[in-house]
Amino acid sequence: MNAADQAKPVTDILNIAGDPIPELDAVTNALLDRGRNERVMILPGTEGGRGRRPYAVTKIEIQFDSEEELRKCVRMLRWSDDRLRARPEQMILWEWDHSFREGMNIYFGVAWYDQPFFERRKDAFKEPSHVAYYSMFGATPDRFKMEHQILG
């Protein structure tokens, strides 16, 4: 690593820059097209918690101004789902829920299985590293509507 690289702040903790984010496949593109006019599930989530009751769930809504940015977000969500599936030990603590499109909005959720992990990470979306990811698809934290629900 050269001196210029060492001086740069590390903001890509998930190594997105080093891991190409795949283009959307034809099925996902077709679902996204349908979602312009109706609510459609576009991603199944990580599906690791079947039969387990989460401690808490977080529901997120992001509103978009452009189709291009919305699709970039979906690419990131799918990539993140795939990365979490590759790390099943993390699904003990949390997992992604289904993602939906309705008009220019994307809805998704997080199921939290561990109370201390939830308390530590529930507001991670406000951290600078996450904010840097949102900028990849033109969003800022103020575009997010988020609701945490404790299930116990």
H or E stretch covering 102:
strand 99-102
For the chain, which domains are there?
Answer: 42-150 (3.30.70)
| Strand pairing report for 99-102 and 105-112 | antiparallel
For 57-73, what is the mean pLDDT?
Answer: 93
Per-residue pLDDT tens for 89-129?
A: 666 788 888 899 999 999 999 889 999 999 998 988 778 77
For 40-53, what is the mean pLDDT?
Answer: 79
How would you classify residue 32: left for phi > 0, otherwise alpha for psi between -120 and 50, otherwise beta? alpha
Average pLDDT, the chain: 81
More confident call, 118 vs 143: 118
Question: What pLDDT does 105 receive?
Answer: 96
Question: What pLDDT does 1 receive?
Answer: 35
- pLDDT band (50, 70, 90) for residue 6: very low
Rounded to an integer, what distance in angstroms lies between the CA atom of residue 83 and that of residue 129? 17
Flag whether pLDDT at 17 surpasses 60. Answer: no
For 27-40, what is the mean pLDDT?
Answer: 97
> Which of 80-113 are b and which e, b meaning 16 or more Cβ less than 10 Å from the residue's Cβ?
bbeebbeeeeebebbbbbebbbeeeebbbbbbbb
More confident call, 95 vs 48: 95
Question: What pLDDT does 138 receive?
Answer: 80
H or E stretch covering 150:
strand 144-150
Flag whether pLDDT at 83 surpasses 50. Answer: yes
More confident call, 36 vs 19: 36
